[in-house]
């Protein structure tokens, strides 16, 4: 007992010494460490500053977390703090971390919120203070971005004259933009046709073959525009005459025999298609969702179009054909006496004899040849500068993607594949992804008066 009592008095002293040494070590470590540098990324909605530009600064600091973070705007001698946030740091020890690891500051900068911003350059600065020890206080992390300030939209001058156009039609316009223009062209409603440098023109000279959507009947929605990289936009009207399109209506009788022929043929070749419900339900999904998806696919070909006139002269109508359905015909679909759907037909239906040879409507490059659900077997030809033609419902295809074709080359045979009631050719013309009236493109006088004279290029 006596021996034991001597040992038991000494043990707490040893334990206390060890504890004190450990506390001193941890204290020194906490005092001297400064923690890793926080990471900052700075993103802007526009590459330059105009009226309004959304800036997003993202901060991250795993471990002890963030302390003070800040977003600033500086020009000349003036600095504006857009926002500052303060966080309590954690200890950054295992199980005791607890700091704020990530935070985002969003602010809108531009001449609307900061009218004192002058043309020139502005600096965006994101700052994150680093965790300081007692004896060491490192510099904060600073990420800067220098952006141009643009107070005025790009210069925009109309060069061509006598612009007559129809709803659902096409046209050409020649114009000139200032050096700050990043994009320009024609806007019709929410559809934009992008302009290109005018072949043989001066610096800044542009032209555009533009599309007027069939569903935009208000000419005040049609403007020439030029936009810079700060979102400043100049717009001006340019049409001298706009002809609204007379309404065209049509009724399609949907029969069970038709549904049994077309629906399984389409759904079996469309991976991922929801083939539940009745044939009529599936048909309505084909005519609605699938139709929109297919139009988007063709629009993607438009945006990859070659910047060259690959075509010349009027587009070719398939020989010996009768026009069975017109462009922008509103179709009411009736099943057992009940209206079940309404869609707009956006091409020309041309009927001849069954399996008649189909000529390429004009010269160009085949960008697609094969199965395309609603259009059945189809060939899509790029004619350059955003202009495409599509021949659909073919029974056979004799062209391949990548082929260069001349006007009149046989690309397939007519048929009734896809959503077709009988053997015919569906000819559709797309300009910048928008379906336009093909009849204009079949007309030599329309091309001469509306395109060739304005562009001063020989288009036949």
Q: Looking at beta carbons only, is 157 or 341 nearer to Zn ion?
A: 341
- Provide the pairing of β-strand 248-253 with 241-243: unpaired
Taking the complex as a whole, how short is the minimal distance between the CB of residue 298 and Zn ion, in angstroms?
14
Q: Looking at beta carbons only, is 56 or 326 nearer to Zn ion?
A: 326
Q: Looking at beta carbons only, is 184 or 317 nearer to Zn ion?
A: 317
Residues 57-96 vs Zn ion: string with x where CB under 5 A?
A: ----------------------------------------
Taking the complex as a whole, how short is the minimal distance between the CB of residue 440 and Zn ion, in angstroms?
17
Q: Looking at beta carbons only, is 21 or 323 nearer to Zn ion?
A: 323
Helix (H) or strand (E) holding 243: strand 241-243
For 266, the 3-state DSSP assignment is helix
Taking the complex as a whole, how short is the minimal distance between the CB of residue 354 and Zn ion, in angstroms?
16
Q: Looking at beta carbons only, is 229 or 349 nearer to Zn ion?
A: 349
Site membership for Zn ion, residue 349 (CB under 5 A) = yes
Residues 407-426 vs Zn ion: string with x where CB under 5 A?
A: -------------------x
Q: Looking at beta carbons only, is 34 or 299 nearer to Zn ion?
A: 299
Q: Looking at beta carbons only, is 181 or 263 nearer to Zn ion?
A: 263
Taking the complex as a whole, how short is the minimal distance between the CB of residue 369 and Zn ion, in angstroms?
18
Taking the complex as a whole, how short is the minimal distance between the CB of residue 256 and Zn ion, in angstroms?
22
Q: Looking at beta carbons only, is 349 or 382 nearer to Zn ion?
A: 349
Taking the complex as a whole, how short is the minimal distance between the CB of residue 152 and Zn ion, in angstroms?
47
Name the E strands within 76-190: 78-86, 102-109, 120-128, 141-149, 156-158, 164-166, 170-177, 183-188
- Phi, then psi, of 13 in degrees rounded to 5: -65, -45
Taking the complex as a whole, how short is the minimal distance between the CB of residue 350 and Zn ion, in angstroms?
9
Separation between Cα atoms, residue 389 and residue 380, nearest integer Å = 6
Separation between Cα atoms, residue 25 and residue 23, nearest integer Å = 5
CA distances 115 to 71, 109, 164, 180, Å, are 18, 10, 41, 21
Separation between Cα atoms, residue 188 and residue 166, nearest integer Å = 12
Q: Looking at beta carbons only, is 239 or 328 nearer to Zn ion?
A: 328
Separation between Cα atoms, residue 250 and residue 255, nearest integer Å = 16
Tell me if 279 sits within 8 A of 254, measured CB to CB.
no
Site membership for Zn ion, residue 192 (CB under 5 A) = no
For 323, the 3-state DSSP assignment is strand
Taking the complex as a whole, how short is the minimal distance between the CB of residue 182 and Zn ion, in angstroms?
38
Residue/partner pairs of 438-444 with CB below 8 Å, 24 or more apart: 438/315, 438/327, 438/347, 438/348, 438/389, 439/327, 439/348, 440/166, 440/169, 440/170, 441/170, 441/314, 441/315, 441/361, 441/362, 441/389, 442/314, 442/315, 442/316, 442/317, 443/314, 444/313, 444/314
Taking the complex as a whole, how short is the minimal distance between the CB of residue 426 and Zn ion, in angstroms?
3
Q: Looking at beta carbons only, is 227 or 349 nearer to Zn ion?
A: 349
For 56, the 3-state DSSP assignment is strand
For residue 205, the Cα-to-chain-centroid distance in whole angstroms is 25
Number of residues that bind Zn ion (CB under 5 A): 3
Structure tokens at 17: 């010494």
Tell me if 413 sits within 8 A of 354, measured CB to CB.
no
- How is residue 138 annotated by DSSP? P
Taking the complex as a whole, how short is the minimal distance between the CB of residue 386 and Zn ion, in angstroms?
22
Q: Looking at beta carbons only, is 53 or 329 nearer to Zn ion?
A: 329
- For residues 309-348, which are near Zn ion according to CB under 5 A? 347
Residues 92-131 vs Zn ion: string with x where CB under 5 A?
A: ----------------------------------------
CA distances 175 to 157, 212, 220, 413, 431, Å, are 6, 18, 19, 42, 19
- Phi, then psi, of 83 in degrees rounded to 5: -165, 145
Taking the complex as a whole, how short is the minimal distance between the CB of residue 325 and Zn ion, in angstroms?
6
Residues that bind Zn ion (CB under 5 A): 347, 349, 426
């Amino acid at each position: 007992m006596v021996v034991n009592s001597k040992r038991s008095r000494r043990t707490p002293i040893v334990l206390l010494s060890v504890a004190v040494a450990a506390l001193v070590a941890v204290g020194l470590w906490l005092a001297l460490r400064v923690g890793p540098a926080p990471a900052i990324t700075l993103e802007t909605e526009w590459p330059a500053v105009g009226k309004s530009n959304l800036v997003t600064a993202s901060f991250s600091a795993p471990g002890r977390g963030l302390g003070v973070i800040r977003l600033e705007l500086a020009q000349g001698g003036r600095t504006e703090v857009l926002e500052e946030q303060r966080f309590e740091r954690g200890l950054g020890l295992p199980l005791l971390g607890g700091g704020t690891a990530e935070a985002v500051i969003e602010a809108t900068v531009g001449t609307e919120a900061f009218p004192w911003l002058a043309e020139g350059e502005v600096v965006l600065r994101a700052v994150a203070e680093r965790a300081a020890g007692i004896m060491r206080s490192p510099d904060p992390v600073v990420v800067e971005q220098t952006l141009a300030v643009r107070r005025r939209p790009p210069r925009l001058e109309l060069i061509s004259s006598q612009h007559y156009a129809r709803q659902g039609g096409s046209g050409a316009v020649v114009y000139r933009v200032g050096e700050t223009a990043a994009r320009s062209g024609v806007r019709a409603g929410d559809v934009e046709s992008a302009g290109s440098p005018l072949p043989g023109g001066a610096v800044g000279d542009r032209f555009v073959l533009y599309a007027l959507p069939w569903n935009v009947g208000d000419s005040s929605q049609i403007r020439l525009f030029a936009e810079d990289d700060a979102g400043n936009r100049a717009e001006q009207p340019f049409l001298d005459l706009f002809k609204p399109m007379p309404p065209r209506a049509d009724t399609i009788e949907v029969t069970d025999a038709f549904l049994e022929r077309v629906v399984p043929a389409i759904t079996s070749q469309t991976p991922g298609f929801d083939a539940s419900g009745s044939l009529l339900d599936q048909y309505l999904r084909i005519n609605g969702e699938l139709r929109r998806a297919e139009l988007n696919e063709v629009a993607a070909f438009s945006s990859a179009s070659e910047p060259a006139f690959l075509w010349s002269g009027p587009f070719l109508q398939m020989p010996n054909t009768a026009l069975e359905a017109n462009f922008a015909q509103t179709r009411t679909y009736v099943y057992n006496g009940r209206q079940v759907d309404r869609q707009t037909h956006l091409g020309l239906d041309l009927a001849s004899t069954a399996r008649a040879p189909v000529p390429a409507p004009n010269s160009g490059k085949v960008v697609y040849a094969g199965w395309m659900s609603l259009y059945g077997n189809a060939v899509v030809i790029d004619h350059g500068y955003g202009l495409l033609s599509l021949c659909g419902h073919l029974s056979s295809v004799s062209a391949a993607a990548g082929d260069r074709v001349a006007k009149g080359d046989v690309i397939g045979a007519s048929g009734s594949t896809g959503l077709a009631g009988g053997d015919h050719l569906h000819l559709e013309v797309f300009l910048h992804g928008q379906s336009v009236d093909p009849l204009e493109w079949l007309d030599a006088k329309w091309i001469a008066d509306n395109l060739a004279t304005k562009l001063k290029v020989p288009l036949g």
